[in-house]
Amino acid sequence: MVASDLVDRVRSLLAEAFELPVDGIPPDLEFGGIKQWDSMGHMEIMLRLEAEFGIELDTELIRQLTSIPEIVAYIEEKEK
């Protein structure tokens, strides 16, 4: 998958989780950047990432994956 496609896929995932238009999710968005991305919003994203990409996250990754670029980089690495 091309990197930009993956960024858009993650943006769409966040948009669905937060019930926002994709345009409201900038590609460099990070935890706390919008009010929906709070602690519970973060966990909602983590659950959706697991389901969408078939990955298993532990608490260390939950702490690390706090921005779209970090999420994208992690998935790219997993899919290599």
Partner 1 sequence: MTDTLEITPALPIPEFLVGEVRSKLAYVDETIRKAEVAISGNRITLHLEQAVDAALEAELTAKVQRVVTAMVKGAFKPKVQVLEDYLDRPVLYAEDPNTELLQRGEMHQETNGVYTLGPLVTRLMEYFEAQFLDLADSFGAPPYRFPTLIPAQYLQRVDYFRAFPHSLTFVTHLREDLDVIDSFSQHAACDEHGLNTAPDSFSKIQALLSPAVCYHLYFALADKPLPGGKLAATSVGNCFRYESSNLVSLERLWNFTMREVIFVGPKEYVLDNRETARNRMRDVFERIGLAYRVESANDPFFIGEFRKQAAFQSAFQLKYEIRARLPFKDSTLAVGSYNYHQDFFGRSLNITLEDGSPAHTGCVAFGLERMAYAFLAQFGFDVEQWPAEVRQAVKK
Comparing CB distances to partner 1, the nearer of 23 and 60 is: 60
How many residues bind partner 1 (CB under 8 A)? The answer is 15
Alpha helices in the chain (DSSP H): 3-18, 39-53, 59-64, 68-78
User: Is residue 79 a contact point for partner 1 (CB under 8 A)?
Assistant: no
- Rounded (10°) CA dihedral 60, 62, 65, 66: -120
Mask for 23-42, x = binds partner 1 (CB under 8 A)? ---------------xxx-x
Q: In this structure, which long-range contacts are made by residues 58-62, counting pairs with CB atoms below 8 Å and at least 24 apart in sequence?
A: none
Q: What is the binding site for partner 1 (CB under 8 A)?
A: 38-40, 42-44, 46-47, 50, 57-60, 62-63
